[in-house]
Amino acid sequence: MAIKVVFFDFYNTLVKFWPPLESIQKEACSKFGLEVREEDLVLGYKYADVYFNEENDRSPLGNRDKLQRDEFFTEYERLILHHSGLDVSPQLASDIWKQAIQIPKEFVVFNDTLHCLKLLKSRGLDIGIITNLRQDMECLLNKLNLFEYVDICINSKDVGFEKPDPRIFEYALKQQGVNASDTVHVGDQYYSDVQGALRAGIKPVLLDRDLWHSGVGDCFVIQSLSEIESVLEN
C-alpha cells in the first residue's frame, strides 16, 4: 500500500539546538573548573539519551513531580559527564545541570530539513510531527518557517502520553484519519521512535546522522533526510 503520511520526530530530526548542547555543557562545566572536550560530550549525550528514553518509557517525565524530575536530570547530567570522561558527585551534577539550562539556546533546522519536506509535499504526501516536546508547537513551527509544510503536529502535552507509548502514535493516526500501514515515522531515537512506531504498527525509519547505531535490523536506517526517497520506494 502506498504511503500517505510521513510522521517525523521533531528535536534532533528536523531541528537541533544552537549553540550545540555539547558547547553549552562545556561552558557550564568550565564555571566549576572542569575541562571537557566537545567531541567527548557528543558521545556522553549518546549514552545518556538511552537512559533518558528508557526512563521516560518506564515513567514519563510529564507525570513526575518536581523532586522526581530533579533527580532524573541529576542522573542524566551525571551520565553525560561520566561517558565524557568526568566522574562527578550527584550534587555537582545537579549544579552543572542548573547552570547549563540557564545558557540561552534556540532551535534551528538541519540543512536537509526543508529539502526533505518540500520533496514530500511535491509528491502529494501529508507531513506530521509526533514529539514529546511540551511547547507551543504552532508558534515554534511558524518561527522556524516550517508551519506551511506540516499538516498535523501532535505533542505529548496534547495527548497525555509520551513516546514510545503507542497511544501517542495511535492518536496521531486517528487525528489524521489514516491506517498505520499507510504511514512511516522518522526519528533519531531507536527506543522512543523506532520501538514506539513498531508498537503502533507504523513503519519506522531511524535517522542515524552520526552512525551511532549498528546492527539495527528491524527498521530502515538513513543518515540524512535526503535519503527519504529510498524509504518511500521500498
Helix axes 66-82, 21-30, angle to 10 degrees: 90
Amino acid at position 67, single letter: L
Reading phi first (left if > 0) and then psi (alpha if -120 to 50, else beta), residue 74 is in alpha
Residue with cell 491506517: 179
Please state, as a whole number, how many other Cβ atoms lie within 10 Å of the Cβ of residue 124: 8
Strands 183-187 and 152-155 come out as unpaired
Q: Show pLDDT as tens, one digit a residue, over the chain (234 residues).
A: 589 999 999 999 999 999 999 999 999 999 999 999 999 999 999 999 999 999 988 998 888 999 999 999 999 999 999 999 999 999 999 999 999 999 999 999 999 999 999 999 999 999 999 999 989 999 999 999 999 999 999 999 889 999 999 999 999 999 999 999 999 999 999 999 999 999 999 999 999 999 888 888 899 999 999 999 888 887
Note the maximum CA span of the chain: 58
The candidate with the shortest Cα–Cα distance to 233, out of 119, 128, 111, 152, is 119
